[in-house]
Structures are given as structure tokens and as C-alpha cells.
Chains A and B, each alone.
Chain A
Amino acid sequence: MPLNPSITDQMQKTRDAWFRTVTFLFALSIPLLLLLLVVILVGQALPSINIFGAGFIFSSSWDPVRETFGALPYIYGTLVSSLIALIIAVPLGLGSALYLAEVSRSKIKEYLAVMIELLAAIPSIIYGLWGIFVLGPLFGLSMLSGGVILAIMILPTIAAISREVFRSVPNIFKESAMALGATRWETIKLAVFGPARSGILGAIILGLGRALGETMAVTMVIGNRPEISASIFAPAYTLASVIANEFAEASSDVYLSALVELGIILLLITMVVNGLARLLIWKTVGKNNIF
């Protein structure tokens, strides 16, 4: 690449400075967009925040006609369906991660790992469609169906990250345990679970973050009824689902504003959960991993 002699050294330096500035501005647009998102959503939610105050979170009335809104059934549905998902996905995810990272030496393990990863690539809407026609007849359109579909969707997250975490435990720990005569189970109990503990917790919490914000699949199977019921076979409703169902049709400003406030509650919950997960994962596998 020959240099154009008419371009002086000084001009090249300014061009370098320009390049740096332009790329920086594009990079800077990411936090700015994030800030804009928060500002605009809070602005939209202000009418609802002003009218209902803190009572919004504790009220379970949702009546667009009388314009009284409360978030409690949705918060409850979001938390409980995610909890059911964790109860199912955590043992399966950790178990399969242990099998793939520590136990299996056979060749199928590569294929099994790819298959679990592919679970994460299937679009939410397709899980929803499958859920309506397969889980629906089994468990009804209910909290349980929502939890099960969420479990399938977060399983690959938990499995993939905890697999990385197990792998990051130094081999010397495992070899030491084995040299003392430990069986494979004892090796994992003694030498792997200890150093991997916070990473595993991080993987679980990251899975929780995914479950909380997941929309379509849950919307299609959870039954969409804003009631707090003790039975997991009863229909329920989540924050994301009510937004998906009602946002496009919100007829009044207060109604729209209340839905945006639900979105902000969801945003806050997921931000806290994801932040916690990130800290825990950083502690074990270092900051360079993309999760």
C-alpha cells in the first residue's frame, strides 16, 4: 500500500485522531442508548407512578375499564414460573454439565453437547407453539406448563456455563483427590464443587435472568389469568406476558403507562439478577468469557 506523497505526516495524524474519535462515538452510543431507554421508559411510566405510587406493586387489581392497575399477580407469576423452571433445570443442567465436562470420555459427548446448545437456538415462538399443543393437554394452560417450557429454555444456559466453570477447575485438584483414592463422585464432591461453587451459582442465576424476561413461549402456555393461586395447575400471568398481550391494544394513556411500569419492574428485576450472576461468574472463570 504505497503512501500518497501529497499527504503529509500531520494529515495522517489527524486522520488517526478522527478514526479514533469516530469509533469511540459509535462505542459510546451503546451506553447512551441504554440511558435513553431508561429515561424514555421512566417518562412513559410517570403518569402511572404518580397515580398509583408504591401501591402499584402490592395491588392485585387490573381493570382497564375503571383504570385501576396493580402489578402483584404478574410479579408473582413471573417469580413462581421462573422458580419452577429452576427446580427442573438446575439438576438437569448441572448433571449434564458434569457428565460432559468430567465423566464422559466417549465420542458421543460432542454430539450431546451440540444438541444441548441447539436447544438455545430454537426460537421462543416455536417452544410456545409446541407447548400449546403438547404441554397444554398434559398440564393444562397453567403455571406448571409455563415453568416446564422455561426450564427447557434455560437448561442450555445453565449447562453451558457450568460446563465452563467445571472445566476451569485446575486439573491438579482433581488429580490430587484421585491420588488419595477418591472415586469419581468423591473427586467431584471434594475437589470440583468447592472452587466451582460461585461459578455454578452464577450460572443458575443467569438462567434465572433468562427465565424472568422470557416472553413468547410463556405467554402461549401459562393461561394468562392475573390471579394468585396456590395451585401450580391454575393459570397465571407474567410481567412479560401481559405486556405482550395488551400493549398494542392499550386504549388509554394510564393503561399504557401502567404497562410500561410493569416493564420497568421487569427491567429492574432482570438487571439486578444478571448483575449478580456476572459478578459470580467473573469470580470463577475470569472476565474474558462472553456470557
Chain B
Amino acid sequence: MENGRQKQYFLRKIKDRVFLLAVFVCTLIAVLPLLFVLSHILLKGLGAINLDFFLHLPTPVGEAGGGMGNAIIGTLILILLACGIGLPIGILGGIWLAQFGDGKRGFFIRYSADVLAGIPTIVIGMFAYALIVIRMGRFSALAGGFALGLIMIPTIVRTTEELIKMVPRSLYEAGLALGIPGWKVTLRIIFRTAWSGIFTGIMLAVARIAGETAPLIFTAFNTPYWSFRLDQPMASMTVTIFNYAISPFDDWHAKAWAGSLVLIFAVLGVTLLVRKFSKQVQYG
């Protein structure tokens, strides 16, 4: 009897240990891919990075040198275009949701933003294609920027709403009590207080769209030349990496690794900075 109980106790203890070991191993396996991917990219990409990579145009296969200068500029222009669409809708929409969006209409709009967030980005690319590319008759930076802008909206709306709601109600009332009209209190006091948090949300959204490829392949398309015109195709880092990656040429593969290294440093750098920064500004 006593022996059986001890045995049972021992079994429970073993089970517990096995469980603890299993979840620990799960965590280790879960972080391994990050280490694999990062180290692989560092190893392969570092050798192909030089000043030319940032300043020069892509060269044809077999020709030495060359870079992704146009694609780096292109990605920056596409991000700006996306902000032109995503920020006004996201921020003003978020302000409305925070201040007036308690009713059914608010729920409906919030729900739409959630649905938009779940739409595969390739489908958003098709939408931009049908709406803009077909009408214009050619691939264009505008269509790419529009697609990326749509992808930004849900993140910006949610962070704006959350952060404005975090500003104490008393601040709003104090503004009104001073005789400042409501819209001015919202923009000049509430929005400014929430701004640093909203800004981190914007940076996260930018980091995310900087790495998007699928919505660009048939909207902004690609070009091996410098391109600044918004109604023309525009190169981006991601689409350029894609084209290089699936090519059969070794020197293009090297360029793809180098491009990935630059992209991943930018994206992870922004993400980590924002995380650090947002911990300092959190209140409420």
C-alpha cells in the first residue's frame, strides 16, 4: 500500500519533469529558425555588400558590379505613397473610432478593419491591379503604393484608437473647460499626447510593408532603371530579391542575399527600436 503510493507519487513527478523538459525543448526549437535564417543571411550576404550595392543599377548577368540602388529608392517611394493613403484614413478613422465610435457604426467599422487585416496581401494586390493597373493600361508605382497603403490601414486604425483611448478623459475635459473647442482639444492636446505611441505603430506598419512582395509583383512590377515617375513601373527591394532568387545565376543569387541582408537589418532594426521605445512611452 505504502509502496504503491510512493510509486504513484514518483510517476507523477516523472510526468511533470517530462512536461517541463518538453515545453523547454519546444521553446528552443521555436527560436532556432530565427538563428538559422539570420546567420545564413549574414554569411551569404555580407560578402556581396559594398558601396556600389547601394548606389548602382542592377547589371545584366555575367557583368561584374552593380547594385540595387533603384530598388532601395523605389521601396522608399512606395512606402511614402502607402503612407499617403494609409495614414490619413488610419489616423482620422482611428480618432473617430476613439471619440465617437461606441455605437453600432463604430463596431461595424472596427470589424471591417479586422476583416481587411485578414485579407491575404496577394488579393489586395489583385484589387489594386483591377482598380488601377487595368484602367491606366500599365503597371505603376501608384498601384503598388495603393496596395501597400491598404495593408497599413488596419494597424494604424487600431493603434490610433487604442492610444487615444489611453489618454485620460480628464485631459479632454480640462481642455473643454478652458473654452477650447472640442476638435481643437482632440487635435492639439489629445492627439499630441498620444502621438509618440501612434508613431511607433506607424513605424511597425512601415517595417511590415517594406517587406511585402506579393502585392507588388503585378502592381508596381519592376524595372532595372532608375524610376521616379509614379505612373510608371517601379523597382522595389522585395520584388528584385524575388526575381534574383528564382533566377538560375549565381551572381544574382549573391545579390539576392545581399538585398535580404539590407532588408532584414532595416526591418528588424526598426522593429527592435520601436519595441524598446514603446516600453518607455507606455502609460495608463
Q: Which residues of A contact B (CB under 8 A)?
A: 1, 3, 12, 15-16, 18-20, 22-24, 26-31, 33-34, 36-37, 40-41, 43-44, 91-96, 98-100, 103-104, 112, 114-116, 118-119, 121-130, 132-134, 152, 155, 159, 183-186, 188, 209, 212-216, 220, 240, 243-244, 247-248, 259-260, 263, 266-267, 270-271, 274-275, 278, 290
For residues 33 through 57 of chain B, which have their beta carbon under 8 Å from a beta carbon of chain A?
33-34, 36-37, 40-41
For residues 215 through 259 of chain B, which have their beta carbon under 8 Å from a beta carbon of chain A?
217-218, 221, 238, 241-242, 245-246, 253, 256-257
For residues 122 through 179 of chain B, which have their beta carbon under 8 Å from a beta carbon of chain A?
122-127, 129-131, 139, 150, 153, 157-159, 162, 178-179
Question: A274 to chain B: which residues have CB within 8 Å?
Answer: 114-115, 118
- The residue that A92 contacts in the complex, of B26, B97, B126, B217, with Cβ under 8 A, is B26
A28-B109, A33-B150 in contact; A213/B30 too (CB < 8 A)?
A: no
Question: B186 to chain A: which residues have CB within 8 Å?
Answer: 19
Are B246 and A220 in contact (CB-based, < 8 A)? yes
**Chain-A contact segment, one of B62-70, B76-84, B86-94:** B86-94
Question: A271 to chain B: which residues have CB within 8 Å?
Answer: 115, 118-119
Are B37 and A122 in contact (CB-based, < 8 A)? yes
- The 6 A-B residue pairs with the shortest CB-CB distance, nearest first, are A123-B211, A95-B26, A213-B120, A19-B183, A274-B118, A27-B93
Are A99 and B26 in contact (CB-based, < 8 A)? yes
In the complex the two chains form, what is the Cα distance from A85 to B218 in whole Å?
27
For B159, the closest partner residue in chain A by CB is A290
In the complex the two chains form, what is the Cα distance from A243 to B123 in whole Å?
9
- The residue that A122 contacts in the complex, of B94, B109, B158, B267, with Cβ under 8 A, is B267
A95-B27, A215-B121 in contact; A121/B268 too (CB < 8 A)?
A: yes
Minimum CB–CB distance for B34 against chain A, Å: 5
- The residue that A215 contacts in the complex, of B116, B162, B214, B256, with Cβ under 8 A, is B214
Are A41 and B127 in contact (CB-based, < 8 A)? yes
Q: Does B71 contact A (CB under 8 A)?
A: no
Question: B92 to chain A: which residues have CB within 8 Å?
Answer: 22-23, 26-27
For B18, the closest partner residue in chain A by CB is A185
- The residue that A91 contacts in the complex, of B26, B31, B40, B180, with Cβ under 8 A, is B26
Are A240 and B26 in contact (CB-based, < 8 A)? no
- The residue that B40 contacts in the complex, of A130, A183, A216, A247, with Cβ under 8 A, is A130
A16-B181, A128-B245 in contact; A24/B100 too (CB < 8 A)?
A: yes
Are A36 and B131 in contact (CB-based, < 8 A)? yes
Minimum CB–CB distance for A157 against chain B, Å: 12
For residues 1 through 27 of chain B, which have their beta carbon under 8 Å from a beta carbon of chain A?
12-13, 15-16, 18-20, 22-27
Minimum CB–CB distance for B49 against chain A, Å: 15
Question: A18 to chain B: which residues have CB within 8 Å?
Answer: 183
Q: Does B195 contact A (CB under 8 A)?
A: no
| Apart from the given pairs A26-B93, A122-B268, A125-B211, 10 other A-B contacts in the complex at a CB distance below 8 Å | A1-B178, A1-B180, A26-B89, A36-B127, A40-B131, A123-B238, A183-B16, A213-B118, A263-B122, A271-B115
A30-B109, A159-B30, A278-B114 in contact; A260/B130 too (CB < 8 A)?
A: yes
For A151, the closest partner residue in chain B by CB is B33
Question: A216 to chain B: which residues have CB within 8 Å?
Answer: 213-214, 238, 242
Total contacting residues, chain B, CB less than 8 A: 95
In the complex the two chains form, what is the Cα distance from A124 to B159 in whole Å?
23
Are A115 and B34 in contact (CB-based, < 8 A)? yes
For B239, the closest partner residue in chain A by CB is A125
Q: Mark B168-211, 1 if CB is under 8 A from A, else 0.
A: 00000000001111111010100000000000000000011011
In the complex the two chains form, what is the Cα distance from A28 to B100 in whole Å?
12
Minimum CB–CB distance for B88 against chain A, Å: 6
In the complex the two chains form, what is the Cα distance from A91 to B30 in whole Å?
10
Question: B275 to chain A: which residues have CB within 8 Å?
Answer: 114
Are B96 and A100 in contact (CB-based, < 8 A)? no
Q: Which residues of B contact A (CB under 8 A)?
A: 12-13, 15-16, 18-20, 22-27, 29-31, 33-34, 36-37, 40-41, 88-89, 92-97, 99-101, 108-109, 112-116, 118-127, 129-131, 139, 150, 153, 157-159, 162, 178-184, 186, 188, 207-208, 210-214, 217-218, 221, 238, 241-242, 245-246, 253, 256-257, 260, 263-264, 267-268, 271-272, 275
- The residue that B27 contacts in the complex, of A23, A40, A96, A212, with Cβ under 8 A, is A96
Are A3 and B118 in contact (CB-based, < 8 A)? no
A15-B181, A16-B183, A91-B26 in contact; A126/B127 too (CB < 8 A)?
A: no
Are A34 and B115 in contact (CB-based, < 8 A)? yes
| Interface pairs (18), CB distance under 8 Å | A15-B181, A26-B89, A43-B130, A93-B30, A96-B23, A96-B27, A100-B27, A104-B27, A114-B272, A123-B267, A130-B36, A185-B18, A216-B242, A243-B122, A260-B126, A266-B122, A267-B123, A278-B114
Question: B245 to chain A: which residues have CB within 8 Å?
Answer: 125, 128-129, 132, 220
- The residue that A123 contacts in the complex, of B13, B95, B122, B264, with Cβ under 8 A, is B264
Minimum CB–CB distance for A167 against chain B, Å: 15
Are A126 and B260 in contact (CB-based, < 8 A)? yes
Are B115 and A185 in contact (CB-based, < 8 A)? no
- The residue that A26 contacts in the complex, of B27, B37, B88, B159, with Cβ under 8 A, is B88
For B246, the closest partner residue in chain A by CB is A220
